[in-house]
Structure 1
Amino acid sequence: MEKGKNIKGAVLSGEAADVREEDVTSWKERLGDLCKGYDPKDIFNADETGLFFRTLPNRSLVVRTDSCKGGKQSKERITVFLAASAMGEKLKPLVIGKSANPRCFKGVNKTALGVQYEANKKAWMVSDLFRSWLKSLDRKFAAAGRNILMFIDNCLAHPTLDLEHVELVFLPPNTTSRLQPMDAGIIQAMKLRYRRRIVQHLLARIDQETPASELAKQVNVLDAIMWLTASWSEVQPTTIQKCFSHCGFAVEAPSSELDEPEFDELPAAESVLGDQTLPDYAAIDNELGTNETLSDDWENRIFQEARGEPDDHDDAVDASGDECDAEESTESTEVREVSGKEALSCISTLQQFTLQRGLSPMAMDVEKLGAFVNKLEAQRKEKLQQGTLDSWLQK
């Protein structure tokens, strides 16, 4: 399989640069040939986005500037790498944080998070991480007996790779705002839902004496991952299809507008958003850097990569799992391990709450959750009892 249908070079992704109309037209004319031999379900696009995971609406007027590349806000960020097909198939998100083992992960089974979690000191996408993700993706589609075409933007963090089941196509420089489906509304759709959850989180606690700024500090990476996973799952296949179609891909998509979350059931949302709109709030971190760009030593780094030498700029996270700088810690709370008894008590309380509010369908869902936890606890105790019996028999 070819390494790529467009030469990957040491260039900036250039999303903020001027887009040349002739480049856009030329690319769309070539797109049919580039996709030849692939069904829309096997044509994918992937891209990173920065996420200020605990930023409040009233701070957004400050962060939508060049300060997105540094300063206090950069200490409250993660990078999210999303991928989807032209037909709306969504891959598991890759989340890049600053700590390998955040305190909020204590006792948490990472495989149940719904994302792949990685870490480095800058919470950036780097070339080694991208290669690892691609190789894992190649194994996934090999097992499924599929060959896919992956469109990706052209940046230092996205090196070429020769794979059996994933063919890379690099977008022309400085055109992603016009030619990349992720930038055409897919990422925005996820962020709209994520910001909506922050607003819901604040509104649910608005009667507390704790200031909103303090409530925001209590949001940790685990909360962010849970909200992100739910938000990504809610992005509709039709939204993804429309974005691919808008970028020139041969996809039949509904002609209606992109779906956006509504606040009809949250009449107090205006008190949180103020004069902002939800789309403005969702876009506050769109200019946040997510990967390395050309620097003074870019030539040395290219030769270093060609020789197969390790990249010192990959910023490996501290092996201890703690943040490398205490001032950059984004974790204000530590999640303790919850016992089965405590979980069942909480489920019982939640079921009582749903019944009192007349939410009978939800009460049934809560009952199913309780039955599942009961089953887990019964299996755990059975193992403990069997272990005790085995020990007694061996004496």
Structure 2
Amino acid sequence: MPVKRPILVEERRALRRWAHRQRPKPTHKQCIEWFFEQYNHRLSQSSVSESLSKTFANLDDPTAIISTSVRVRAGNWPELEAILWQWQLQLERQGGATTGDILREQAKKIWLQLPQATGQECPEFSSRWLEKFKKRHNIKERVRHGEVGSIPDQAEVEMKGLQTVAGEYNEEDIYNMDETGLYWRMLVSRGLLSQSRPSLKKDKARISLALCTNATGTDRLPVWIIGKAKTPRALKNVCISSMGGRWRWNKKAWMNSVIMSEWLQAFYSHVGFTRQVLLTMDNFSAHYTALEISPPPPNIRICWLPANSTSRFQPLNQGIIQNFKALYKRQWLAFTLESYEANIDPQLGMNIRLAIRWILRSWNNEVTNTTIYNCFRRSTLVSTSLALSTPILPPGISELYNQVIKTGNIQDSMAINNFLNPSDENEDGEDIEASPDSILQGIIDEHLGVPATNEEDDEETLSQYTSKDALQAIQVLIDCTETIEGLPTKHIRSLENLEAIFKNLQLQSKEQT
């Protein structure tokens, strides 16, 4: 007689996801067979019925806090606990410590700002609640990340362990994710043209980007762009998902646990629930907290890179991000040069929509698979016996940089490396010293979506084009392509397909009016 075992939370969640995605709705027998194929464990019909019932509906919510125990006990105030838990992690990362009394006091501060608490009496947050909160988040067993990892030998040992894990996966199934900052319209210098507009102080307008790719470069996830405005004017009526990216925002334009939790859910959906993959990340507190909120399905394994050594072992930091930024800034330099040649301040014509277009073009079309693969090998996550050299700067960028300086009559230009890789471009909220209360307030603002003065919303709205305008432009392109000898026919077919799409949109618009 087989030994009975309980259903794990991750297994029950995976079953619900699979069942909800099937059309038509699967029978209990089909669910039993699917579960057996996945986990080599045969469920009873009553277990399937219970797992798919409303009792476990909270497993479908990506923002719900899920315990790793067999039975789910999420707590009465999941949003409050998510904020408090993120604060606890961030404070620990900065070397701070908490007590039970401090946690209870901070919980009361959070409660007073939650919209759902309006008009309700503040809970006691008793000692019993505190113990359950600690148990849910394993606080007693938590280790401060970064202290042990500062020892080089320890990092080497940890990396060898990660290499062993990575050796169990195909190269195309090994992923790395990292964030980077981007000064998307920083000038070479203020120069003579921009000096005439002292009120324009947006040289360092900054966004954050979340990048993820597999080791071969054949599967690059959409870039997540994090700004300060919910919907900048330049993005009005723009569908960024159609462009191939995702837009998120918060008060400080950096990654937090709320956005990271969304990102993880998107990654799980992208990979699916049958393919076995490895995702590697650094143990930034937003990553850690988000993983508590959104644990992976059984087929996805997430491993932390050794602490304090991501510059050595993070694949994206071995040249992929630098190459990507150089490709982006080459487009910005070309735009700057055209503006200077027309005696126009380049910042006046620049906007976040153009920046996103160039970001996605650089990531999807210009960073090569060879660059990505070589950087994964250099990180030693993917083993290699070869010493690989990967060019970071794209061809012609130095000449373009010097041309911008000359045409713009720049008297105080910075070195090109400082322009391409500003020293403070990658600072995030955890690099800034702050008091425990200000850290807590920042986290509350992020969870509640409190807006901030932003660097994207002072831009002019771009012209809005109609389907008729698009059809006329496509016809011009078709006319031009028909005159080019040797051009593959597939390009004309692509334009004709695009033309058909806009004709259909035009027809739908007429029918609605």
TM superposition score category, shorter chain reference: 0.7 to 0.9
Q: Answer yes or no: is the 8 Å Cα contact 2:163–2:381 preserved in 1.
A: yes
Q: Which of these residues, 443, 452, 462, is aligned with residue 324 of structure 1?
A: 452
Task: Give the deviation of 1:155 after TM superposition.
Answer: 1.8
2:242 paired with 1:115: no
**Aligned partner of 1:272: which letter?**
V
Change in Cα spacing, 1:289 to 1:28, as seen in structure 2 (3 Å) is same
Distance 1:94 1:346 in 2: 30
Q: Are residues 1:82 and 2:215 paired?
A: no
Opposite residue 453 of structure 2, the aligned amino acid is D
Specify the code of the residue in structure 2 equivalent to 1:172.
P
The amino acid across from 1:150 in the alignment is L
Question: Among residues 470, 486, 489, which one is paired with 1:343 in the alignment?
Answer: 470
TM-score normalised to structure 2 length: 0.59
Deviation at 1:276, TM superposition (A): 5.8
Structure 2 vs 1, CA of residues 313 and 385 (structure 1 numbering), >3 Å: closer, same or farther?
closer
Aligned pair in 2 of structure 1 residues 24, 59: CA closer, same or farther (>3 Å)? farther
More contact order relative to length (CA 8 Å, sep ≥ 6)? 1
AA of the residue aligned to 1:11: R
**Contact 1:35 1:43 (C-alpha < 8 Å) held by counterparts:** yes
Matched, 1:149 2:231: no
Counterpart in the other structure of 2:350: 219
Task: Give the Cα–Cα distance (whole angstroms) in 2 for the partners of residues 364 and 332 of structure 1.
Answer: 40
- Please show how residues 129-278 of structure 1 align to structure 2 within 5 Å: 129-143=259-273, 145-159=274-288, 160-161=291-292, 162-164=295-297, 165-210=299-344, 214-233=345-364, 234-252=366-384, 255-264=387-396, 268-272=400-404, 278=416
Instruction: String of CA shifts for 1:324-375, please: whole Å, max 9, x gaps.
Output: 337x4454210232012222444456677889xx976779788556534431
Letter in 2 for 1:371: E
Q: Which residue of 2 aligns with 1:11?
A: 93
Which protein has the bigger helix share?
2
Q: Which amino acid in the other structure matches residue 166 of structure 2?
A: C
**2:377 and 2:383 in contact (8 A); partners too:** yes
| Structure 2 CA distance for aligned equivalents of residues 232 and 282 of structure 1 | 16
C-alpha distance after superposition, 1:231-282 (max 9, x if no partner): 1122112212221222222345975521345444995542225776654422
Change (3 A) 1:182 1:267: closer
Give the counterpart letter for 2:304 in structure 1: F
CA contact (8 A) 2:159 2:306 kept: no
The answer for the alignment partner of 1:383 in structure 2 is 508
**Deviation readout 1:48-106 (Å, 9 max, x if unpaired):** 1000001112369xxxxxxxxxxx66861110011112222321111101111111112
CA contact (8 A) 2:209 2:225 kept: yes
Between structure 1 and structure 2, the one with the greater Rg is 2
Equivalent residue, structure 2, for 1:312: 444
Q: Percent identity?
A: 24
* Number of equivalent positions: 354
- TM score, norm. by length of structure 1: 0.75
Q: Give the RMSD, CA atoms, in angstroms.
A: 3.9
Q: Which residue of 2 aligns with 1:106?
A: 236
Provide the residue aligned with 1:391 in structure 2.
none
Residue 371 in structure 1 maps to residue 510 in structure 2: no
Q: Structure 2: where are the runs of 5+ without partners?
A: 1-9, 12-67, 69-88, 95-143, 192-200, 407-412
Alpha-carbon contact 2:213-2:220 (below 8 Å) kept: yes
| Contact preservation (8 Å) 1:126, 1:292 | no
Partner of 1:288: 426
Match of 1:392 in 2: none
Looking at structure 2, the residues matched to 229 and 183 of structure 1 have their Cα atoms a distance apart, in angstroms, of: 19
The 3 A distance-change label for structure 1 pair 295 and 324 is closer
- Closer/same/farther in 2, CA of residues 282 and 197 from structure 1, 3 Å limit: same
Instruction: Name 1:297's counterpart in structure 2.
Output: 436
